[in-house]
């Protein structure tokens, strides 16, 4: 159960990691594209508007030459003011941008030169209006118009090229980020898989160290570990704790007559029988060879004796596998219940073991239980005798 919870937790953590990685990559791509697109959109929009200044300047100059009145002169003055502000604004944008300075330095220099020519155009406009020098307006105005048209056209083209290059770079960076995120997710997934396999191997080793490899029951070591916990609970809660030792009678005869594989099959069948008789809280262990034990928490002497007799009867009726099917299997059982004077399983085991050997000494196929070692099971003279209840 703990392993399943850990597996589900690791799967959920990995899924959450993948979702977070996808959200982070998607957010990065969207934000980066929006930011880059906004930068170039703003600059390109300003340049496109600036290109219209050259057209308006030509139209205003033509209107002034056709009719040199104060209204057209005022329009030209406003136009020159807008051109001056636009040049300064675009120059600041270029200086604050991350665009290559060397590539845009000639255009910035040309815009600065054109800005320096605006006072000359104002003076030429004043001379034209007063009739002193009409050719100067055409000369300076044409120079400024051509310079603005060329500078803004070049700037717009280079901005478009830079935007296309930036988009290509952005696509490469996006692919790189996706690849890195994928590698990171795969590495973390591989690490989690390795940790899971290490956990499984550790659990398998722990299980092997606690389990009898033939029957799948607890081994002696694990029984002692569980018994230490049960004895601690017994001292704390004063609940009864009993132990049943089981030893098969004349089991060596089956091994000698039918071989060890048949003997192993008998032990496996016995293990299944024991598991079918006990409660979920009880612990069944193979102590070695043909000796088994059942640790019974919350089981008093009478209850432990009844279980032991039930087990003895089931073993006596057990159908043996393979070539030993015609044989009859019996077992001797010793039952003991913990007392406050007992220090642990060793003391409880010693009492149950003495009663087990008493059962063997008195003819086998019987249960010895109770304070004085009451005998349950058929008497030596009558194998089918009625069972005797343990003395109180």
What pLDDT does residue 381 have? 37
Q: Can you state the percent helix, strand and coil of the chain, rounding each to 5? A: 70, 10, 20
Give the contacts of 298 (CB within 8 A, at least 6 positions apart). 239, 240, 241, 281
| 77 is known as an active-site residue | no
Cβ atoms within 10 A of the Cβ of 32, count? 14
pLDDT at 51: 82
**Measured distance CA(392)–CA(374) in Å, rounded:** 9
Structure tokens at 34: 């929006």
**pLDDT confidence of residue 383:** 37
User: In angstroms, how far is the first alpha carbon of the chain from the final one?
Assistant: 41
- Distance between CA 254 and CA 329 in Å, rounded? 9
- Are residues 286 and 212 in contact, defined by beta-carbon separation less than 8 angstroms? yes
Sheet arrangement for strand 374-376: 283-288, 291-297, 241-248, 331-337, 367-369, 374-376
Alpha-carbon distances, residue 265 vs 63, 249, 269 (angstroms):
116, 16, 6
The enclosing H or E element of 368 equals: strand 367-369
| Phi, psi (rounded to 5 degrees) for 249 | -85, 130
Q: How many CB atoms within 10 Å of residue 291?
A: 17
Q: What is the pLDDT at residue 371?
A: 55
Q: Give CA–CA dist 385/308, Å, rounded.
A: 17
Q: Which domains does the chain have, with CATH numbers?
A: 2-191 (1.20.120.1730), 220-376 (3.30.70.270)
Q: How far apart are CA 344 and CA 243, in angstroms?
A: 12
Tokens for 131, please give them.
């009739």
CA-based nearest residue to 54, from 146, 159, 121? 146
Length of the chain in terms of residues written: 392
> Consecutive 10-residue runs of the chain (392 residues): their mean pLDDT?
65 72 68 56 78 84 80 85 88 77 81 88 82 78 87 82 75 76 78 79 77 91 90 85 94 88 91 92 92 94 94 91 80 93 87 94 91 52 35 32
The reported pLDDT for the residue numbered 144 is 87
Q: For residue 173, how far is the Cα from the chain centroid?
A: 27
The tally of CA atoms less than 13 A away on the side-chain side of residue 264 is 8
Using CA atoms, how far apart are residues 41 and 391, in angstroms rounded to an integer? 100
| CA-based nearest residue to 111, from 149, 142, 59 | 149
With 0.85 as the threshold, say if the pTM is over it.
Answer: no
Torsion angle defined by CA atoms of residues 358, 363, 367 and 369, in that order, rounded to the nearest 10 degrees: -30
Q: State how beta strands 291-297 and 367-369 pair.
A: unpaired
How many Å apart are CA 390 and CA 265, to the nearest integer?
33
CB 265 within 8 Å of CB 322: yes
From 103, 290, 291, 327, active-site residue: 290
pLDDT of residue 66: 80
CA distance 244 to 338: 11
27: CB partners within 8 A, 6+ apart: none
């Amino acid at each position: 159960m703990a392993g399943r919870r850990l597996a589900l937790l690791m799967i959920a953590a990995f899924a959450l990691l993948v979702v977070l990685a996808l959200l982070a990559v998607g957010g990065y791509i969207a934000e980066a594209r929006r930011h880059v697109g906004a930068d170039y959109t703003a600059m390109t929009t300003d340049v496109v508007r600036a290109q219209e200044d050259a057209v308006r300047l030509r139209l205003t100059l033509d209107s002034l030459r056709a009719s040199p009145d104060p209204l057209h002169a005022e329009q030209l003055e406003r136009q020159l003011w807008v051109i001056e502000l636009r040049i300064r604004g675009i120059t600041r944008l270029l200086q604050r941008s991350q665009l290559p300075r060397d590539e845009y330095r000639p255009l910035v220099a040309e815009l600065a030169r054109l800005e320096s020519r605006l006072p000359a155009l104002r003076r030429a406009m004043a001379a034209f209006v007063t009739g002193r020098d009409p050719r100067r307006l055409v000369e300076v105005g044409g120079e400024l118009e051509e310079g603005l048209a060329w500078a803004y056209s070049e700037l717009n083209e280079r901005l478009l090229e830079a935007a296309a290059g930036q988009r290509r770079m952005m696509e490469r960076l996006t692919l790189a980020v996706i690849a890195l995120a994928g590698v990171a997710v795969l590495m973390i997934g591989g690490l989690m898989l390795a940790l899971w396999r290490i956990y499984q191997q550790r659990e398998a080793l722990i299980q092997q160290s606690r389990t009898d490899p033939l029957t799948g029951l607890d081994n002696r070591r694990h029984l002692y570990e569980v018994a230490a916990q049960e004895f601690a609970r017994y001292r704390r809660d004063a609940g009864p704790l009993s132990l049943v030792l089981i030893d098969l009678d004349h089991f060596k005869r089956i091994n000698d007559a039918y071989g060890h594989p048949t003997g192993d099959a008998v032990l496996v069948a016995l293990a299944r029988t024991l598991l079918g008789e006990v409660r979920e809280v009880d612990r069944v262990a193979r102590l070695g060879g043909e000796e088994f034990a059942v640790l019974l928490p919350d089981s008093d002497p009478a209850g432990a004796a009844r279980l032991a007799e039930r087990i003895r009867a089931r073993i006596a009726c057990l159908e043996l596998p393979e070539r030993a099917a015609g044989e009859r299997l019996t077992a001797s059982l010793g039952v003991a219940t913990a007392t406050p004077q007992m220090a642990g399983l060793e003391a409880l085991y010693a009492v149950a073991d003495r009663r087990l050997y008493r059962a063997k000494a008195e003819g086998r196929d019987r249960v010895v239980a109770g304070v004085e070692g009451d005998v349950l099971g058929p008497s030596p003279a009558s194998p089918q005798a009625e069972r005797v209840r343990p003395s109180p």
